[in-house]
Chain A
């Protein structure tokens, strides 16, 4: 039994070292001068260069990138939740001819990623005059997230006790009233989970914004950070500080909403 415990400890330590070393070196690297980074990439900085971080935090560029990402992600989340919840409600509670066919139609969206149709998508967005705008990114992201969101929401809506709907209808409540006053408030956990998945995907997205945007001023942070690296190509200490500051919001969100994130990205994926 002792041998196993030693093996476990060793294995965990090795995995921990593998995961944390690049991350810690990135955070610490941002505090070093370029010369020190070269001679001492692993250790603590001998002189803490707070300026590297301060200059970025005080720049409008950093906040501009985060602001763009946040705007795009929030618009995507709100629109996805509204549109998907309405559709999922219909699929869960209303009987009509062709319902299952229509549902199957929408779930074909699970079969392929946006990359497969990225050029026609670009042409479509351009012809709609949405190129180089927030909505040129938001609408395709919402559309490609619908299948998964509707699937998860419909399952949850269906599992709500059917007596609720019957009682509400007897009491003269309309379907819309039932949706607004009963379904949605009871569905907070699943709405939070779906919202979190959609938010993380949008926050980290690269391909769709890359294809749809021309102006630096609209860039979300994954695009902005690539531009930044291009400008400061070998000043790794500044680039590392910039990387640290851009992944910081993700890590904070993760710490605060880890339940929803882990549940959403694993358990949610399982059910999808």
Chain B
């Protein structure tokens, strides 16, 4: 019976209490020193929703999800179908594609701030081959977020590919053989037999896409720090820039509570509606 208290204590102290306190602090105008005394009710939430940068941040998180679903998921699926078969080099290729996923987001962000660098970067050189002046992608509000989206695909498609490969290899080969004997060929087989069998994994992959998008922060910092002109903020980089850096505990806590509500609501409803059978 002495085995349980350490876990419960740590969890309560560093997870549950801070989450609860975020709700309490969010009702104060407080810079973190002394005790919170200036009660302002729900004003912090009003400030958050009136902040232009918060709207951009929310929208960017939606963009991340959209690009992950439209570009990254098909890419990961196609590669998984190719690499789930046994041929020389398949295992090595899987590992290479998985490699970006285990690199730290900070390192990935820095590598790509080199790729995009207007003076030394790889893109600059490619533009140079055509005799053109390269755009400074990260320095313009219109292109900063698209540039980050490319990095996100680069970093995460290998993880989703591995999920699909694991599912493909765990699949009942009998069903596929039966369909083949019944006359299903290449594309038909993939579309009408393999794909439906992958639906549970696709639903899981979408779950990770949304959860990952809601936490996105480390990658943005070395690339743009949310700029220029707040164009590339995510919810967490917004929280860090406007809450943590300025020690506006009440305001930052309000952002945290909003993020908490989004995360918890999503996790509950998604699991209830789409992942019941698993």
Contact = CB atoms under 8 A, between A and B. Distances in A.
A86 B25 CA distance: 34
A45 B100 CA distance: 24
B104 A86 contact: no
B154 A18 contact: yes
B244 interface: yes
B8 A106 contact: yes
A42 B122 contact: yes
Contacts of A89: 3
Given A115-B256, A146-B10, A122 B244 contact: yes
Nearest to B264: A111
B42 interface: no
A251 B98 CA distance: 11
Chain B interface: which size bin? 35 or more
A118 B245 CA distance: 12
A87 B252 CA distance: 33
A118 B120 contact: no
A78 interface: no
Interface in A236-254: 236, 239-240, 243, 246-247, 250-251, 254
A87 B7 contact: yes
Nearest to B217: A207
Interface stretch (A23-31, A56-64, A160-168): A23-31
B59 interface: no
A18 B115 CA distance: 12
Nearest to B81: A8
A226 B93 contact: no
B6 A117 contact: no
B101 A265 contact: yes
B17 interface: yes
Contacts of A139: 10, 13-14
Contacts of B95: 254, 258, 262
A106 B16 CA distance: 9
Nearest to A121: B18
Interface in B1-33: 1, 3-4, 6-8, 10-11, 13-19, 21-22, 25, 32
B166 A266 contact: yes
Contacts of A37: 120
Contact of B260 (A116, A147, A207, A254): A116
Contact of A42 (B125, B162, B253, B267): B125
A229 to B, nearest CB: 6
A199 to B, nearest CB: 11
Nearest to B186: A4
Interface stretch (B60-68, B141-149, B175-183, B235-243): B235-243
A194 interface: no
Given A12-B82, A117-B21, A118-B239, A211 B244 contact: yes
Interface in A1-33: 4, 8, 11-12, 15-16, 18-23, 25-26, 29
B153 to A, nearest CB: 9
Interface of B: 1, 3-4, 6-8, 10-11, 13-19, 21-22, 25, 32, 75, 78-79, 82, 93, 95-107, 110-112, 114-115, 117, 119-122, 124-125, 154, 158-159, 162-163, 166, 186, 204, 208, 214-215, 217-218, 221-222, 236, 239-240, 243-244, 249, 252-253, 256-257, 259-260, 263-264, 267-268
Given A22-B154, A113-B263, 10 more contacts: A19-B97, A86-B7, A102-B4, A105-B16, A115-B239, A119-B252, A123-B25, A144-B14, A200-B102, A258-B95
